[in-house]
Structure 1
Amino acid sequence: MIPDDWIAHHRDKDGELLGYLRPVGDRFEPVTLFGHPLAGPSDEYDAAAVLDSVGLSYLAERWRLTLPDRVEPVAVQVVEVDPDTVRLKNVGHTGDRHFSLPVPTDRLQPEH
């Protein structure tokens, strides 16, 4: 579940939720809908600008999911995100698998 102190950031044009501003001391870190940092901490204006610039493009990217029973991460793509869960689909060669993780999660890293 998204922590209460995270600030939801919405796109001005249509109100779409783009991510969150996570407080870090007196600064803010822009994070995805599932809690992955998009940049380091900065003032609130600059952190919000990162989310505005990136938009939801990170949802279309491939991610690497670490699993407790595997040495190598699994290539996945985000299928759906809500404030409690991120749902993922395997896009590698290890079969058609789906995963659900609680939000926020630290088990996802960008593939690039």
Structure 2
Amino acid sequence: MIPAQWTAVHRDDDNELLGYLAPTVGGDHVIPTTVFGHELAEPCHVDDAVEVLESTGLSYLADRWELLSDAHSEPMTVQIVEASPASVTVQSIDYGHEGGYGTRFTLAAPTGSRLQRR
């Protein structure tokens, strides 16, 4: 689950949740993140972080991602099936990966380094 101290950023025209601003230790900067907590940029000022979220929108949901698993030595190519502040569900689109094309995995948010944008 996304931590309560993270600030939600919504699109102005339809109030759709774009992502979150995660505070940094020093407090001078924030990190723009996806709906499920994946970092989209380095720490920056609030205005710049909001701009990252507004310019990215929800396009990251259509991207290919790599899932890192303790059970496999190589990352698996996946696509996002469902995303929320609580979790993200991805589906394998990697024909060459052991475990099968179409296998779904649900990760708790924030996902940390287990899920990487390609």
The answer for the alignment partner of 2:89 in structure 1 is 87
Structure 1, unaligned runs of 5 or more: none
Number of equivalences: 111
Quote the offset at 1:35 in angstroms.
1.2
The answer for the alignment partner of 2:2 in structure 1 is 2
The answer for the alignment partner of 1:49 in structure 2 is 51
Moved over 2 A (4+): none
Identity of aligned residues (%): 50
Structure 2, unaligned runs of 5 or more: none
Quote the offset at 1:42 in angstroms.
1.1
Which letter maps to 2:101?
G
The answer for the alignment partner of 1:63 in structure 2 is 65
What CA distance in whole angstroms lies between the structure 1 residues aligned with 2:22 and 2:77? Answer: 26
The answer for the alignment partner of 1:20 in structure 2 is 20
Q: Pick which of 88-97 and 65-74 moved more.
A: 88-97
What CA distance in whole angstroms lies between the structure 1 residues aligned with 2:8 and 2:61? Answer: 17
Quote the offset at 1:33 in angstroms.
1.1
The answer for the alignment partner of 1:110 in structure 2 is 117
Q: TM-score, normalised by structure 1?
A: 0.95
The answer for the alignment partner of 2:106 in structure 1 is 100
Describe the SS at the equivalent of 2:36.
coil
CA deviations on 1:38-93 (whole Å, 9 max, x unpaired) are: 11111111100100000000000000000111000000011111221100111110
What CA distance in whole angstroms lies between the structure 1 residues aligned with 2:116 and 2:106? Answer: 15
